[in-house]
């Protein structure tokens, strides 16, 4: 329950930033704003977490260089703001804040 309260508080303050980031990603390159990342949890359980998309769309991929980070993606990864959507995962009860911070 404490995780949900903290996540709601954090989302209240970061929601304008989340909206700004989503618009910036959409303006910079076509495609989805969010991506899903699958991780393996304790007990061999799979978990899917939301993150902001930081790479170019698959149609724009340069096969010689592999996945390319967008300019916004570089900033998001450097500041770790690409993980802000994981607060929604906390609200849904799929992950706890302790699990997010212990990586």
Map 8-38 to HEC letters: HHHHHHHHHHHHHHHHHHHHHCCCCCEEEEE
Round the average pLDDT of the chain to a whole number and report it. 86
Confidence band of 62 (pLDDT split at 50, 70, 90): low
What range defines the domain where residue 74 resides? 2-101
The residue that leads in pLDDT, 54 or 68, is 54
First-to-final CA distance of the chain: 21
Are the C-beta atoms of residues 57 and 50 closer than 8 Å to each other? no
Residue 94: closest CA among 52, 32, 39: 39
Name which of 2-11, 25-34, 40-49, 68-77 the model is least confident about.
40-49
Q: Tell me: pLDDT of 64 over 70.
A: no
Residue 85: closest CA among 32, 30, 27, 31: 32
DSSP 70: -
């Amino acid at each position: 329950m404490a995780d949900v309260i903290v996540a709601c508080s954090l989302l209240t303050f970061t929601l304008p930033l989340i909206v700004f980031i989503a618009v910036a990603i959409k303006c910079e390159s076509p495609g989805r704003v969010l991506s899903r990342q699958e991780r393996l949890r304790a007990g061999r359980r799979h978990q899917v977490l939301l993150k902001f998309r930081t790479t170019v769309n698959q149609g724009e991929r340069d096969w010689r260089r592999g996945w390319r980070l967008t300019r916004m993606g570089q900033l998001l990864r450097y500041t770790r703001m690409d993980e802000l959507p994981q607060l929604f995962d906390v609200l849904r009860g799929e992950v706890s804040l302790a699990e997010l911070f212990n990586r």
